[in-house]
Structure 1
């Protein structure tokens, strides 16, 4: 990543332990020159993503500097997926640039199994040296099935990411995982590793009861977990197939 940045007119890339920011791009409005600082406190893999993120700010010339001397990005900015205000939109675009550079489509697709599997994201992480979270987001985006990923800690939701065709998710940051789900039981058992896909109550995750949802969870020894949800949006035979014409998914909650 440092070699790529230098080849694209970044004069210096400096990594180290910094306070108050995850990454910084020092540049001027004309982008005549740039220098990147990347925090290593979260590990070298995270710092590598930060360099790619700041390089995105440098190359995306329509981005407006957040400070007189350039861009300063916090940890939550490197998870930003909202599309509303200018700062949030720029952080989203810098993240999209970074994951496109670090995990290009051609490299990602060859690691995808016939069916969705959290193990694919782990293999992708090890092969491309990108975080498991970034790889799982990439997996959700690249697969044709309606998928969602729920990140949790000690059985409480941290955040989630879903494909456009996955149903509306009711859970918010800090909510306790539904006790009827395999994800909750995995946290309760504290047994690290991967589970198999099992059917899950759809109303535990969404506002719909006319679909089937399957879930798979990976729990780490630290108590952090990620759950992959796979939805079958075809209406079940035992429910009225006529959809409510006045019900629409108006918005998707986003949170940090």
Structure 2
């Protein structure tokens, strides 16, 4: 998996360079990697939102990273800088390619481009290295733990969810709505059921925790799977599903879906 390759490379570099506390500052990391034989500069400049998020350019003599300082979310900006650092360390320094411009088109083609996936994995491993993140939480994938990682590592909730769910290898998914309207979802390879891409019902909205005022919960509700997923897959029936929804700014609702072995029933019948 390309993301795992990127994360492993970042974690190896952090250990070699002696980074042993959070948060990892991208500019400090770049300064540590840079030397006289291969100088690396990182700069932040304002561009229109549709131009690009970040760039990494270089040669066999050095490299430069340019990050769009107009990215409105500071944590997304931080992840973008770490992503471009991944291009420098894994691709430019290794002679794979010398010019990367990352924007909306690259995001759309993300799964078709192994280099972009490697850079994303690098950013995840750089900002949230396994050996340091593991000490922050008890390992359970819930909003409280995700929030701890997000705050400590200066990353978005989605990035923290992706990292924690990959480290724990659990059957979980995150579904994103805005003002009840379905936007998208993120699921792990361990989550076997098709997610319904539907808008939220009034009942589902009522079960949300207002994270802005009430904090981030660690508990889940037991819900009818049919409200969220197609509960049949390869001879298995999902009889129960766990859900935890939070309401954030701008009407965004993030929901974690999870299940365990007790939720599964075998529907195959032997003759």
- TM-score with structure 2 setting the length: 0.72
Indicate whether 1:176 and 2:205 are aligned.
Answer: no
Q: Distance in 1 between the 2:32 and 2:139 partners?
A: 38
1:191 CA drift (Å): 8.4
Residues 140-219 of structure 1: matches in 2 within 5 Å? 140-172=165-197, 175-177=198-200, 179=201, 182=204, 184-186=205-207, 193=214, 194=216, 196-208=219-231, 210-211=237-238, 212-219=240-247
Contact 2:212-2:247 within 8 A present in 1 as well: yes
1:99-120 C-alpha deviation (Å, 9 max, x unpaired): 1011001122222236432011
- Which structure features the higher share of helix residues? 2
Deviations 1:182-216 (A, max 9, x none): 3x3357x9986446411111122222163221100
What's the offset of the Cα at 1:4? 1.7
Q: Does 1:126 align with 2:151?
A: yes
Aligned to 2:79: 49
Q: Please tell me whether the aligned partners of residues 176 and 252 of structure 2 are also in contact (alpha carbons under 8 angstroms).
A: yes
**CA deviations over 1:67-105 (Å, ceiling 9, x no partner):** xx61100157469762xx2xx322111100111011001
For residues 95 and 194 of structure 2, the distance between their equivalents in structure 1, rounded to whole angstroms, comes to 31
Within 2, Cα distance between the matches of 1:98 and 1:59?
11
Give me the whole-angstrom Cα distance separating, in 1, the residues matched to 2:65 and 2:241. Answer: 43
Scaled by the length of structure 1, the TM-score of the pair is 0.76
**3-state SS of the aligned residue for 2:249?**
coil
Aligned counterpart for 1:16 among listed residues 35, 38, 45? 45
Q: Is the 2:193–2:230 contact (alpha carbons within 8 Å) kept by the matching residues of 1?
A: yes
Contiguous gaps of at least 5 residues in structure 1? 246-256
Q: Secondary structure at the match of 1:165?
A: coil
TM superposition shift of 1:24: 0.5
- In 1: Cα distance, 2:211 partner to 2:151 partner: 24
Task: Provide the C-alpha distance between the structure 1 equivalents of 2:110 and 2:167, rounded to a whole number of angstroms.
Answer: 16
> How large is the Cα RMSD of the aligned pairs?
3.1
For residue 62 of structure 2, the aligned residue among 13, 16, 33 is 33
SS at structure 2 position matched to 1:130: coil
Q: CA 1:113 to 1:218, structure 2 compared with 1: closer, same or farther past 3 Å?
A: farther
Unpaired runs of 5+ in structure 2? 1-25
Go from structure 1 to structure 2 and tell me whether the alpha carbon gap of 1:103 and 1:78 turns closer, same or farther (over 3 Å shift).
Answer: farther
